[in-house]
Structure 1
Amino acid sequence: MKVLVTGATGLIGVHTVKSLLDAGINVVTCGRSSTGIVGLPSVSHRSGDLLDAAFHKTVVDTERPDGLLHLAWQTKHGHFWNALDNHDWHDASRDLIDRFLQSGGSRVVVSGSCAEYDWRNIPVGMKLSEDAPCGPATLYGQQKLRLLVHCHDLIKSGAAVAWGRLFFLLGPHEDRARFIPSITTKLLAGETADMSSGQQIRDFMHVKDVGRAFATLMQDDITGAINIASGNGYSLLEIATRLQRKIGLGTLNAGGFPDRPDDPPYLVADTGRLSRMIGFTAEYDLDSALSDCINFWANQ
């Protein structure tokens, strides 16, 4: 089996590719990087702009992959939520998927987002199942959901398309401005880590587990949306407190800046479908995941 992977050099892409290789799958990557994944010479790479339909045609016609694992999208921290090129990523993603299926490709897996769900008035304690109401508050979520609707139409016509709906990530190589790196680096420096009240409850999953989950989806025949998450919710204050205890330096300033009024208090996934349908089990719990993050930033 040959799988074409987009977004392979991203936060979860590297781990997805490694998991596919471990399963004996032939991987081809494509994207703007001129070299692909450093340290994996066995993986061939096609360099080009994923927003260019002509590039899609060239890659699909030349490589003739059996599977497409589409992870690429606008992901710049603090920018992607309402970036105007979310429209472009929807259009390009739809074109790539359609070209792949028209060329005879047999399996598509796409990265979705919990931002597709309706975040308003989620009762604390209610985990979001894949059939929970959708009503994205951001352009990013709206365009992801728009692409999912197209994928549902493809499934109805007989295509094998799975939609991995991501919740929250943690692990090495995150943007320093993201929550866990921002707290970790301040504490490691012995400084004060400012944060919101930290009462928001979130579902974090280690990037290596996320990569394995996507690789497992590619090898399965399940279709439709499936939550990619740990299924466990922790308040941001609990996570920050665990980081402080492990590091033993610095101080936390909970409430150092105000909570965002549009920030939902509870976002946790129901992962029953992930565990029951494809038999996936995470290797990292919260403590081992946080320790991995601390070790990474301590060595930077």
Structure 2
Amino acid sequence: MKKKILIIGGTGFIGTNLSLHCLKKKWQVTVLSRKKPNIKIKKVKYILADISKIKDLKKKIKSNYDYIINLGGNIDHSSRKKTYFTHFVGLKNILDVVKNLNIEKFLQIGSSLEYEQNKPPHNESMNINQKKLKSNYSKAKFLSTKFLLNNQKKFKFNFIIIRLYQVYGPHQKFDRLIPFVIKSCLLNQKFPCSAGTQLRDFLYIDDVIRGIMLLLKSKKVKKQIINLGFGRPIKVINVIQNIKKIINSGELDKGKIPIRKDESLISYPDIKKVYKLVGWKPKIGLLRGLKYTINHYKKKIK
């Protein structure tokens, strides 16, 4: 029997890749988003709704799904109010609407920024001091995590919170670091960047999708937090230089963009828990992932 999946906020980078993967498995895919997608994927059913408005959601979500994945929320986090309403209030509204549906598993996409005040490597059992969280996004995501865990007895379905790090790959928008650098190099342009001394954890999208699928299907992973990352940090400048080296063009204007004062200089996860539970570990290293990603964008930029 075909599995039915609802991907909330599914028109973005991760949602697009997840939709394509689920279609290959012959699943029935429904995507809910606030705006019409720029490009529609064949065989995907699209629903328009604003997750921050519960009346809107109640009209649109009525069917049962095997799995629901919440990727929803504003990408621009400069507005505290919009970030709070789309990431935290949005989650509460979704849960209120689906609480009586027959769902096998609900997956909330959290963020590595929930650990922004903790020393790496980050593990899922770390205590997080909410008062020390600085960004609008980290606060909203942590409130969402806390709400799910504190109210877990109210939900008859299982749920997982996945904290993602720097995910990259095909279908990501050009305003993100790796696609921006790839585009600049393919066009042989000079482009600004920071000193790039920040250490970050980069994970290729196929590894993320594989992890999500394993966690959805697992019967023993219930009502807990899971980190998904590569587990080893690399300097941002090294990522940029690798892209430039592979493409063999482009010119970086190093130090043009200042590093934010509140930015963590090092961030990466401990991924032992996910390996122990479902046997997941990353398969695609940075250089291979960058080559796959560059090949995708070469077809887009001519």
Equivalent position of 2:51 in the other structure:
50
Assess, with a 3 A threshold, how the Cα gap between structure 1 residues 267 and 49 changes in structure 2: closer, same or farther. Answer: same
Deviation, structure 1 residue 36: 9.1
Structure 1, 91-100 or 152-161: larger mean CA deviation = 152-161
What is the letter of the counterpart of residue 40 of structure 2? V
Give the AA of the match of 1:112. G
User: Where does residue 287 of structure 2 map in the other structure?
Assistant: 287
Could you tell me which residue of structure 2 aligns to residue 278 of structure 1? 278
- CA deviation profile, 1:84-131 (whole Å, cap 9, x unmatched): 2122121121121132122343321011111111336x3xxx311112
SS of aligned partner of 1:197: coil
Q: Aligned match of 1:87 in 67, 74, 84?
A: 84
Partner of 2:143: 146
Equivalent pairs, count: 291
- 1:132 corresponds to which letter in structure 2? M
Q: Using the alignment, how far apart are the partners of 2:141 and 2:206 within structure 1?
A: 23
How far is 1:33 from its partner? 4.3
Cα distance in 2 for residues equivalent to 1:45 and 1:194: 37
| Counterpart Cα distance in 2 of 1:25 and 1:141 | 32
Partners of 1:24 and 1:281 in 2: CA distance: 25
Distance across 1 between alignment mates of 2:218 and 2:145: 19
Deviations 1:117-160 (A, max 9, x none): 1336x3xxx31111223242111111111111111023345641
Instruction: Work out whether 1:230 is the aligned partner of 2:224.
Output: no
Residue aligning to 2:248 = 248
Aligned pair partner of 1:197 in 185, 195, 198:
195
Q: Structure 1 pair 35/185, CA: closer, same or farther in 2 (3 Å)?
A: closer
Instruction: Note closer, same or farther for the CA distance 1:54–1:36 as it changes in structure 2 (3 Å cut).
Output: farther
Counterpart amino acid of 1:28?
Answer: T
Question: Following TM superposition, by how much is the alpha carbon of 1:167 offset from its aligned partner in structure 2, in angstroms?
Answer: 0.9
SS of the aligned residue for 1:27 comes to strand
Shift of residue 82, structure 1, vs aligned partner: 4.3
Whole-angstrom CA distance in 1 between matches of 2:137 and 2:198:
21
Identity rate of aligned residues, in percent? 21
SS of 1:5 mapped into structure 2: strand
Do the aligned partners of 1:205 and 1:229 also contact (CA within 8 Å) in 2? yes
TM-score (norm 1): 0.87
Paired residue for 2:4? 2
User: After the TM superposition, which of the residue ranges 274-283 and 105-114 deviates more from structure 2?
Assistant: 274-283
Distance between the aligned counterparts of 1:215 and 1:97, measured in 2?
Answer: 21
Partner of 1:132: 126
Corresponding letter in the other structure for 2:200: R
Using the alignment, how far apart are the partners of 2:71 and 2:259 within structure 1?
A: 30
User: Take 1:81 and 1:231, find their aligned partners in 2: how far apart are those partners?
Assistant: 29
Would you say the 8 A contact 1:35–1:47 is kept in 2?
no
Q: Is the 8 A contact 1:11 1:207 kept in 2?
A: no
Structure 1 residues 186 and 106, CA gap change in structure 2 (3 angstroms): closer
- Which amino acid in the other structure matches residue 259 of structure 1? I
Contact 1:69 1:108 survives alignment (8 Å): yes
Q: Which residue of 1 is the match for residue 96 of structure 2?
A: 98
Q: Secondary structure at the match of 2:81?
A: coil
Give distance in 1, aligned partners of 2:39 and 2:182: 27
Query: Would you say 1:298 and 2:292 are equivalent positions?
Result: no
Contact 1:8 1:36 in 2 (8 A): no
1:37–1:247 CA distance, 2 compared to 1 (3 A): closer
| SS of aligned partner of 1:291 | helix
How many Å apart are 1:288 and its aligned residue? 1.4
- Give structure 1 stretches of 5+ with no counterpart: none
Unaligned 5+ segments in structure 2 are none
- Alpha-carbon offset, residue 262 of structure 1: 1.5
RMSD value, Cα: 2.3
Contact 1:13 1:211 in 2 (8 A): no
2:104 is aligned with what amino acid? Answer: S
How far apart are 1:168 and its partner, in Å? 0.9
CA shift for structure 1 position 66: 3.2
